[in-house]
Structure 1
Amino acid sequence: MKIIRNSLAALVAAACLATSGGAAPLGDDGLHKAAWMRDTFKDLREDLAEATDEGKRLMLIIEQRGCIYCTKMHEEVFPLPKIDAYLKDNFYVVQINMFGDVEVTDFDGETLPEKDMVRKWRQMFTPTLMYFPQTVAGGQTAVEAAVATVPGAFGPATTFHMMNWVVDKGYEGDETFQKYHARMLIEEQK
């Protein structure tokens, strides 16, 4: 009886988590599928054009099956209402599977399977968030075009500040992200 009661309690808890906006569900590839992610043909030139047409910024998120840090971001950071809303309102997010076989076309026109494109971009950590400007010069690769690349899992404040810094084009100014982040932390404590 105790086992049944504990099992029922676990099921109720899981149902509550699922309906309270917890982590995005896992897809067949083992990666989280958040509502703000776009299912595209993974042609970065087309994705950038669509993002710009929508008044949003293109962001790539590189993830892999079983990544504990990806799960941390999807459970503890991305579902926070402020971050979730900011992602939906300001970013056009395309997911890349670090070991996937779906073809990706880079800004320079080269097409490779995801796993080979990630290797070309010299990315080795998951999650990695790559943020892009509204226009990319012809012939540039994603690594060359990115205005910021964030390898690994960070907490809510760092993630939110980075997204704001990119949207506000902080990379064009004199204030580095680190100084911006420190200033924002101080201002938020006031």
Structure 2
Amino acid sequence: MKRVLTLLAAVLFSLPVAAAELGDDGLHKTDWMRDTFKDLREDLEDANAEGKRLMVMIEQRGCIYCTKMHEEVFPRPEIADFIRENFFVVQLNLHGDLEVIDFDGESLSEKQAARKWGLLFTPSILFLPEEVAEDQTAAQAAVAMMPGAFGPGTTLDLLTWVQEKRYALDTEEDFQRYHARRIAEREAEKSQ
């Protein structure tokens, strides 16, 4: 009986929670996204005040890869909870017209910001440090960028790598080596 309950608990905890709903702009909306004035300097201050990292997600209506992330990856409890606890998430629309104020003070539309930052694909996620120089853009300041849709393991590893500031450590372990190590560790845990 104990084995059945353990198996049932494992299955239940591995199931994703409800996927995000679509907003009027056609983008997926989650409870961990923030509705801000999209002044990135203010968003960074708010993230820092909460002890979180600023994460800027660029998505677009009809994006099959955004849908994949919102239906298969982000709803997983371990990922949704990690984002909720550690990140201040601001969503931008690749083709949107809402005003964004970049870290360098330039005011532009969402689509102009995406072009300025050289973002062509969605989803693209920029991870920002706690401090950004006044003359830097979001793309220049980003400590990492997630260009596209990834599986749950890669996504959680990148979120963890950023949250733990592993990009700033003086080691030879860049993200790819960190991710490879984490894959090997997970495989070793499964075989035990």
Q: TM-score, normalised by structure 1?
A: 0.88
Asked if 1:66 corresponds to 2:62, the answer is yes
Asked if 1:78 corresponds to 2:74, the answer is yes
Q: Distance in 1 between matches of 2:88 and 2:37?
A: 13
Q: TM-score, normalised by structure 2?
A: 0.88
- Counterpart mapping for 1:40-189 below 5 A: 40-173=36-169, 174=171, 175-189=173-187
Kept in 1, the 8 Å contact 2:43–2:54? The answer is yes
Aligned identity (percent) is 61
How far did 1:66 drift? 0.2
Partner of 2:34: 38
Partner of 1:15: none
Q: Distance in 2 between matches of 1:21 and 1:189?
A: 25
Q: Distance in 2 between matches of 1:62 and 1:187?
A: 31
Structure 2 gaps of 5+ residues are: 1-15
How far did 1:108 drift? 0.3
Amino acid of the structure 2 residue aligned with 1:188: R
How far did 1:22 drift? 2.2
How far did 1:59 drift? 0.2
After the TM superposition, which parts of structure 1 deviate over 3 Å for at least 4 consecutive aligned residues? Answer: none
The count of corresponding residues between Structure 1 and Structure 2 is 171
Superposition RMSD in Å: 0.8
Q: Distance in 2 between matches of 1:127 and 1:157?
A: 17
How far did 1:138 drift? 1.7
Q: Distance in 1 between matches of 2:95 and 2:70?
A: 19
SS at match of 1:165: helix
Partner of 2:3: none
Q: Distance in 1 between matches of 2:104 and 2:78?
A: 34
Q: Distance in 2 between matches of 1:150 and 1:41?
A: 23
Amino acid of the structure 2 residue aligned with 1:91: F
Kept in 1, the 8 Å contact 2:26–2:61? The answer is yes
Q: Distance in 1 between matches of 2:133 and 2:167?
A: 17
